[in-house]
């Protein structure tokens, strides 16, 4: 049974600070890793994906992957109130991205305090 674990939160972070979201996964064969953002009542939208160990940066977002520890994280720098949402971690066993579907964590609810 593939499992993806996230702290449900809420995680409260002051505006302008760094928000750190964490995720662990059970399937050592997982190849691709994704972070989605989901606003209340909306569908998930992809923020970033990563498939190699190390860091990947895109604007204010940095994804970090450590396959040996089976750990993925998302850092949000200069947090804004508009970043308040639920963040979903997802993994795929496929090296070609999510072609076989994704296994999602239950999400971390992030609140950015003005």
Partner 1 sequence: DVKVTQSSRYLVKRTGEKVFLECVQDMDHENMFWYRQDPGLGLRLIYFSYDVKMKEKGDIPEGYSVSREKKERFSLILESASTNQTSMYLCATVRGSSYEQYFGPGTRLTVT
Interface residue list for partner 1 (CB under 8 A): 32, 34, 42-46, 49, 51, 88, 90, 96-107
Question: Which one, 85 or 102, has the nearer CB to partner 1?
Answer: 102
Cα distances from 71 to residues 24, 30, 37, 68, in angstroms, run 5, 11, 18, 8
Number of C-alpha atoms within 13 angstroms, CB side, residue 111?
6
Query: Which C-beta is closer to partner 1: that of 61 or that of 104?
Result: 104
By C-beta, is 107 or 112 nearer to partner 1?
Answer: 107
CB of 22 to partner 1, least distance (A): 16
Backbone angles phi, psi at 81, to 5 degrees: -55, -30
């Amino acid at each position: 049974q593939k499992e993806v674990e996230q702290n449900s939160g809420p995680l409260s972070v002051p505006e302008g600070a760094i928000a750190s979201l964490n995720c662990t996964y059970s399937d050592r064969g997982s190849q691709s890793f994704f972070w989605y953002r989901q606003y209340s009542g909306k569908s998930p939208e992809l923020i970033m994906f990563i498939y190699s160990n190390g860091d990947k940066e895109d604007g204010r977002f940095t994804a970090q992957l450590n396959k040996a520890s089976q750990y993925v994280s998302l850092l949000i720098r200069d947090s804004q109130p508009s970043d308040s949402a639920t963040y979903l971690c997802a993994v795929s066993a496929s090296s070609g991205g999510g072609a076989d579907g994704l296994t999602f964590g239950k999400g971390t609810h992030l609140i950015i305090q003005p």
